[in-house]
A and B are shown apart, each in its own frame.
Chain A
Amino acid sequence: MKSNHYSIFTLLREALRGQAGWRPVWRDARPQPAYDVVIVGGGGHGLATAYYLARRYGIHRVAVVEKGWIGNGNIGRNTTIIRSNYLLSGNIPFYECSMKLWEGLEQDINYNAMVSQRGVLNLFHNDAQRNAYTRRGNAMRLHGVDARLLDAAAVRRKLPFLNYDAARFPILGGLLQKRGGTVRHDAVAWGFARAADRLGVDIIQNCEVTGIRMHAGQAVGVETTRGFIGAGRVGLSCAGNSSRVAAMAGLRLPIESHVLQAFVSEGLKPFIDCVVTFGAGHFYISQSDKGGLVFGGDIDGYNSYAQRGNMPVIEDVCEGGMALMPRIGRVRLLRHWAGLMDMSMDGSPIIDRTPVDGLYLNAGWCYGGFKATPASGLCFAHLIARNEPHPVATAYRLDRFGRGAVIDEKGMGAQPNLH
C-alpha cells in the first residue's frame, strides 16, 4: 500500500481524525527473484539513484538492497552541509547541478527535507589564501554559481563574535556562497526512500550482499543473506565499503576506507546563522534548527572500517573551534560519532562503468558525499540507464588515474601522501 501524499489537506484531515490514517512511509519489501536494476547500498546516493531511475528514466523494476537499515550509514552520519563552491571545471557543473536539484527537491519528492540556504562562508587568514579564494570565487561565477568575497568588516558585521585579531590567524575576510546551507540529512534518506517506493522501487533492508554472480564475464545478480537476486544491471553505491564489494567482482579500486568524526553540542539559542569554515585549521561549524552546534574537522588519517575514531582528532577539532570561536569553550558536547569514508586517491568521486559488463560503480566520495546526493543519484541513474556518463559527470572516470587525468581539487585524498 502506497504512503500518503503530503499536503496541507492531508495534514488537516489527519488532525481531525486523530492522526490514525497515516500509512508507513515505505513498504518493507521482500526480495523478488529478479529486477532490471539492483542497487547495492541503501544510503542517500543509492536511494536517489533508484528514485531517478524510476522517475526520469522509466525503469521501475528496481531494488535497493541495504545491509542494515535506511539511515544507518553515512546519510545519517554527515554534518548536513550543501554547497557548490568548487574550483575545477570537472567539479563545478556537477556540484551546481546538485545544488539546483536541492533547490527543487522538496516539491519534487513531496517531502520536507528542511533545505535551508543559509549561506556557507569560507574564512581566509592571509594574503595568499585571499588570492586563492578570489580565484575560486571567479571560477564559480564564470560557471554561473553565486559567490561573494567579503572583507573583514563585512564578516565582522555578520559574525561579530569570531576571533578576528588573533596574532597567528587574523580573519581577513571570507568567500560566501549564499545559496549554500544545510539540509536535514535523515529526511533526505526518508524522502528519497518514500518517493522511490511510491514509484514501485523495492527497498530491501537487512539484506547484505555477499557476492556478485557473474556469467560469461557479465554481472547477472547478487548473492545476499536473503538469497540470490537476479539483475539486468548492478549498481554499486556503497561508499565506505566500495573496496569490499568491488572485490567480490575481482576489482581493486584506487580507494582507502578512512574514518571521519563529527560532533553535536548541547542545544543553545540561535547565534550562528550560516555555515562557517576556519581557514587556518580543519574546522567547520553550523547550528542546527534544534540549537545544537554541528561541527567537524579532519579524517583520523588511517585505514579503518570501525565507525569510531580516536582522541587526537577530537582534540584537534576542538582546538580549531577555540581558535576561531573562543566563546564555545564552555559548551558541552552532546553527541559524537564517526562514519566510513571512501577516500579516493585524488579526493574526487568515481561514477563510471567497470571492466565487468553490467556492473556500475558510484564510489570515492571522500568526505563530500552528502551535498552531492541528488546529482550523484541522477548521474548514476543516467549511467545505468543509458550506459554512458551524464554530461555533468564526464570527468569522474575510473581510469583517470592511469591516464593522469586526476581531479585534485584540494590536493586531498588518502595516499599517496596527498592529504
Chain B
Amino acid sequence: MRLNCPCCGPRGLEEFTYRGDATVHRPGTDAPAQAWVEYVYLRDNPDGWHRELWYHGAGCHAWLVVTRNMRTHEIADVARAADVARLARENAGS
C-alpha cells in the first residue's frame, strides 16, 4: 500500500502513522458525557469506503485525510487535513 502524499508524492506505508477515523468530531466542552463516550470510543467501522487520518512522520509531517476502501485497500483520495478543515470552515461560514 502506498499513499500519494500531496506534498511528497507516492510514498511507502512505513513513512506514515495511522491516526484513525477522520469523521468523528470533538464535542463542545459543555456537551453531555454520552457525546464524549461516542467521540472517544464508538466507531462506524464500515466495510467499504472509510475517511481516515494518517500522519506523514517520516516525510513532510503533514496530517492527511485519506479515503480508502476497507475491503480492497484501494485509495480514492488523499488530501491535507488542514485543507479539509479549512474547506469545512468555509462551507460552514457561507
CA distance A244 to B1 in the complex (A): 24
Q: Name which residue of chain B comes closest to A244, CB basis.
A: B47
A104 in the interface, Cβ–Cβ < 8 Å? no
* Of B68-76, B77-85, B86-94, the one touching chain A: B68-76
Q: Name which residue of chain A comes closest to B18, CB basis.
A: A302
Instruction: Report yes or no: A310 in contact with B20, Cβ–Cβ below 8 A.
Output: no
Q: Name which residue of chain A comes closest to B50, CB basis.
A: A303
| Contacting residues, chain B, for A162 (C-beta < 8 A) | none
Number of residues on chain A facing chain B (CB within 8 A): 27
| Contacting residues, chain A, for B71 (C-beta < 8 A) | 305-306
Closest chain-B Cβ to A200's Cβ sits at a distance in Å of 33
| Contacting residues, chain A, for B73 (C-beta < 8 A) | 304, 306
Binary per-residue interface labels of chain B (39-64) against chain A in the complex, 1 for a CB within 8 Å, 0 otherwise: 01111111100101000000000000
Instruction: Report yes or no: B13 in contact with A310, Cβ–Cβ below 8 A.
Output: yes
Number of residues on chain B facing chain A (CB within 8 A): 27
Which secondary structure dominates chain A's binding surface?
Answer: mixed
CA distance A252 to B41 in the complex (A): 10
Instruction: Report yes or no: A345 in contact with B14, Cβ–Cβ below 8 A.
Output: no
Instruction: Report yes or no: A302 in contact with B52, Cβ–Cβ below 8 A.
Output: yes
Q: Name which residue of chain B comes closest to A254, CB basis.
A: B41
CA distance A73 to B42 in the complex (A): 25
Closest chain-B Cβ to A352's Cβ sits at a distance in Å of 15
B33 in the interface, Cβ–Cβ < 8 Å? yes
CA distance A158 to B1 in the complex (A): 40
Instruction: Report yes or no: A305 in contact with B47, Cβ–Cβ below 8 A.
Output: yes
Binary per-residue interface labels of chain A (168-179) against chain B in the complex, 1 for a CB within 8 Å, 0 otherwise: 000000000000
A-B contact pairs, 18 of them (CB 8 A): A244-B47, A252-B42, A253-B42, A254-B41, A254-B43, A255-B45, A256-B21, A302-B68, A304-B73, A305-B71, A310-B1, A345-B40, A345-B41, A402-B33, A415-B19, A416-B20, A416-B40, A417-B20
Besides the contacts A241-B47, A306-B73, what 18 more A-B pairs have beta carbons closer than 8 Å?
A: A243-B44, A243-B45, A243-B46, A243-B47, A244-B45, A252-B42, A254-B42, A256-B21, A257-B45, A257-B70, A303-B50, A305-B71, A306-B72, A312-B12, A401-B40, A415-B19, A415-B21, A416-B41
- B residues sitting closer than 8 Å to A (CB atoms) are 1, 12-14, 18-21, 33-34, 37-38, 40-47, 50, 52, 68, 70-73
- Please provide the 9 A-B residue pairs with the shortest distance between their CB atoms, ordered closest to farther: A243-B45, A254-B41, A415-B20, A312-B14, A302-B18, A402-B37, A401-B41, A252-B42, A305-B70
